[in-house]
């Protein structure tokens, strides 16, 4: 987990490295995270 050092407007950016089985599992994980009320944005970042 990586976190930004500077919080802006009471927001914090988290970068997570997750292991998933396949693209469908990734889609399910992102959908679940996005539905969480405190989450403003969730996206995949390709290396």
d(CA 32, CA 25) in angstroms, rounded, equals 11
d(CA 42, CA 36) in angstroms, rounded, equals 10
Confidence tier at 1 by pLDDT (50, 70, 90): low
- Domain boundaries along the sequence of the chain: 2-34
Q: According to the model, what pLDDT value does residue 4 have?
A: 63
Nearest to 46 by CA among 17, 24, 22: 17
User: Tens digit of pLDDT for each residue in 4-46?
Assistant: 666 556 888 889 999 999 999 999 999 999 999 999 999 999 8
């Amino acid at each position: 987990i990586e976190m930004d050092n500077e919080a802006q407007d009471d927001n914090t950016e988290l970068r997570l490295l997750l292991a998933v089985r396949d693209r469908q599992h990734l889609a399910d994980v992102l959908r679940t995270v996005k539905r969480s009320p405190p989450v403003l944005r969730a996206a995949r970042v390709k290396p």
